[in-house]
Chains A and B, each alone.
Chain A
């Protein structure tokens, strides 16, 4: 059990991270959370500090802290207070499962942080089933020390995957619009942070009004709307270089951009003569194809994950509803038929659901909901004065959105904040931001 037999090896290029899989015996999959039907009892898990000498000891504590926070935030795990721990893991040695059973831990995470001769850090972790007294997962990661938060998120993703059977979503970032200043002259900046609110950075200076950012599939580029040239237009921001450039060269307002799943296209809306239609811009040759045609407002387009279809909202039938058409345009099928208006459809990365903003019903409230791509199975997850703009975590199990509050006559209130919610409608929690925030977009997994 202690042998670190290397069963698999992978290198993630830009990140410079080497992964080794530690020997895992064939385990009966007793420890499992079924996340499809809502969670009754979060799984008790013990995450003591990873062991390390000197400064690696602090790193081990920091990594355990990030893993703890990630798993706790999912609502599926209940990390046990370290004060309750009986076994002192700092001395090393195999887990004393009896001691962990006494604190009601069903799962246990152990690990070691070492510095290699080349200066890189080697982080080893193992996940244990306390009652079966078996190792469920084991990996070692080698990378530069500054990547420690990402290592922690990757460990949390592995634990999540091993216990739930679903991919995790912790090694991800969120791009959003940071807001400040009075409602009538709001300053909006492009901002980006890790999924757990760490490493917040502002990408634009606030001189130009910017809105509605979306990640490229590589998470290296962001497409968004900017008023930088006076007229609202679609822009591209390169995270590595910090370069911003207008996308395409055509007159009028362009808005509501989203990448295609292969990253080769951006689908967007253009306004002409009061109508708004959907276009696809090929990033390889900058050719623009018109996908919808009419006098209606067709906007907020989003590709299906296989790239074959586009869902969008349109008022062509009189009120704002959701429609699905082929990725090449043409006839569109209305899929939303409930009372109220439907907007901002986003296709789940799993393909099984479309999330939306709904306006109306009782008291003109806003809601975030989901429905199947054929329009069946509509389910509201949350409602409030203003909730808007759902975005999916890459595993299709968690959504983020923003919630705004009303303003009084003197301008008080009117703030906006980011929230996440489980697909079951449970575990609603704020995603901490330095100030007001709106228009979140969740990145794919970074690796």
Chain B
């Protein structure tokens, strides 16, 4: 997901460069380095979170354990959240369609809580983090195959009011 977001950002830069009338600041050097989206997105926004830290962690089938890759993403999310202490977030828990509806609601909640617990352990106040489960009701991608299912077994950190 990080890779894909970076790809999107790169494509946007190319478009800006090709534009006959580049918007002001388009050619300005990117500042901020690692841990910042470099001003491409509004600071503290959902897009900023996604580009800077990655806004989602993926899970194995019927599991809610956070992988080491997920841990790294949540580490970056926690740093980002500390930079924007006014921001509160809701963790959405999602499941693939290969489970029953009610169990998946519970599993989505368990995944969202697993993400929240890591962020709290990394120093983010519990009061800044809500959870909600969508079970298998709001798939992120369509397609009844493993590639699609893998994208849908996810905890997404969403910026409230963003």
Residues of A within 8 A of B (CB): 182-186, 188, 209, 211-212, 225, 230-232, 253, 255-256, 269, 271, 273-276, 297, 299-300, 313, 315, 319-320, 343-344, 357, 359, 364, 385-386, 388-389, 404, 406-411, 413-414, 439
Contacts and interface: CB of A to CB of B under 8 A. Distances in A.
B113 A273 contact: yes
Contacts of B137: 186, 188, 209, 211
A404 B113 CA distance: 29
A374 B113 CA distance: 35
A253 B106 CA distance: 9
A341 B150 CA distance: 20
Interface stretch (B1-9, B38-46, B69-77, B140-148): B140-148
B33 to A, nearest CB: 35
B103 A297 contact: yes
B140 A271 contact: no
B130 to A, nearest CB: 9
B105 interface: yes
Contacts of B114: 274
29 contacts: A185-B138, A188-B137, A212-B101, A225-B105, A230-B132, A253-B109, A253-B132, A253-B133, A255-B105, A269-B106, A271-B113, A274-B110, A274-B114, A299-B102, A300-B103, A313-B100, A313-B103, A315-B103, A344-B102, A364-B98, A385-B144, A389-B100, A404-B97, A407-B143, A407-B144, A408-B144, A409-B143, A411-B142, A414-B142
The 10 residue pairs across chains A and B that have the minimum distance between CB atoms: A406-B144, A274-B113, A343-B100, A276-B106, A297-B106, A274-B110, A271-B109, A411-B142, A256-B102, A409-B143
B107 interface: yes
Contacts of B113: 271, 273-274
Interface string B102-139: 11011101100110010000000000000011000111
Contacts of A231: 132
A385 B145 CA distance: 12
Interface of B: 62, 64, 97-103, 105-107, 109-110, 113-114, 117, 132-133, 137-144, 148
B101 A439 contact: yes
A300 B110 contact: no
Nearest to B116: A274
B77 to A, nearest CB: 18
A198 B148 CA distance: 38
B142 A274 contact: no
A230 to B, nearest CB: 7
B140 A184 contact: yes
Nearest to B132: A231
B147 to A, nearest CB: 9
B90 to A, nearest CB: 9
A368 B127 CA distance: 42
A326 to B, nearest CB: 21
A404 B96 CA distance: 14
A276 B142 contact: no
A183 B102 contact: no
Contacts of A388: 100-101
A320 B100 CA distance: 10
B127 to A, nearest CB: 13
A299 to B, nearest CB: 5
Given A315-B103, A343-B99, 18 more contacts: A182-B142, A183-B142, A184-B138, A184-B142, A185-B138, A211-B105, A271-B105, A271-B109, A271-B113, A274-B109, A297-B103, A299-B103, A300-B103, A344-B102, A357-B100, A359-B99, A404-B97, A414-B142
A274 B64 contact: yes
A446 to B, nearest CB: 27
A49 to B, nearest CB: 44
A341 to B, nearest CB: 8
